[in-house]
Amino acid sequence: MLMQSLRFLFDILIPQRCFLCGTPVPRDGGLCPVCWSRITFLGSPQCLRCGLPFELEIGPATLCGACISDPPGFHRARSVFRYDGASRDLVLGFKHGDRTGRAPLFARWMARAGADLLAGTDVIVPVPLHPLRLFLRRYNQSALLANALSRQTGIRCCPDALIRVRHTPTQGGFGRRGRRANLQGVIRARRPDAIAGRNVLLIDDVFTTGATVGECARALRAAGAGSVDVLTLARVVRAGQ
């Protein structure tokens, strides 16, 4: 009762506010109803493999054209919401704006979006940052999400399972092929003992072309992972994709 009273008093003195517009919201609400309605949350119908959303329901085991012609290195991928004008500030505030306190709420959203993946997961692994970029940014947003998801699900997290062995330019200026070339041979397993024989859930903030998570998946499978699934907070969906 004392803790509930203190929390009630704290909410009055310092009310929680919407991550996007600043409107007061219930504790751990994250978004007000208006901003929530603008976010495009993803789910079925979608590609069984990469999670690309479909406009129409065409069967539960359907693959998109990209996964048929060029299968990704991971088994399945799922994302919480579409990365677009409505969600951009939500992601960038967390990734570059020191809004690290959002990680527990984002992890809860990810747990719902990736419930089918988590059911078979043995270990959670974040996409790594190069040490120089980690020093400059001061935190790895993917590791924050992975650790928060681990605490909520009880599944072990291994934040140092992968390492980037070479500093590369940011992926923003590259297309799909350029992103793959930029990352080739860059990511390696640092903790094969934590990976071998286990089903791994790889965590990242944004799924763009799949090049980064694909390279991570290849490194994990080379280290003996039983399977590799991918769960991200957001996903880029281009027109006509």
**Structural domains for the chain:** 17-66+73-235 (3.40.50)
**What's the rounded mean pLDDT across residues 191-197?**
94
- The two structure tokens encoding residue 105: 């709420």
Nearest to 16 by CA among 30, 2, 3, 33: 30
Residues 6+ apart with CB under 8 A from 76: 48, 49, 50, 51, 116, 117, 229, 230
Tokens for 176, please give them: 């799909």
More confident residue, 41 or 3: 41
The predicted pLDDT at position 2 comes to 61
Helix H or strand E encompassing 183: helix 176-183
Strands 162-164, 187-189: parallel, antiparallel or unpaired by DSSP? antiparallel
* 230: amino acid identity, one letter: V
Tell me the pTM.
Answer: 0.88
Residue-wise pLDDT for 126-152, tens only, equals 999 988 888 888 999 999 999 999 999
Q: How far apart are the C-alpha atoms of 44 and 52, rounded to whole Å?
A: 9
Q: What is the pLDDT of residue 173?
A: 59
- What's the pLDDT tens digit per position in 40-93? 999 999 999 999 999 888 777 899 999 999 999 999 999 999 999 999 999 999
Q: Which helix (H) or strand (E) segment is 69 a member of?
A: helix 65-69
pLDDT more than 70, % of the chain = 86
In this predicted structure, what is the pLDDT of residue 67? 93
Average pLDDT over every residue of 27-50: 91
Confidence grade of residue 240 (pLDDT, cut at 50, 70, 90): low
Give the mean model confidence (pLDDT) for residues 161-174: 74
pLDDT of 165 reads 86
Residue 202, pLDDT above cutoff 60 = yes
User: At 1, is the pLDDT very low, low, confident or very high (cuts 50, 70, 90)?
Assistant: low
Residue 177: band (very low, low, confident or very high) from pLDDT cuts 50, 70, 90: low
Give the pLDDT score at 47: 94
Residue 125, pLDDT score? 98
pLDDT of residue 176: 60
Q: pLDDT averaged over the chain?
A: 88
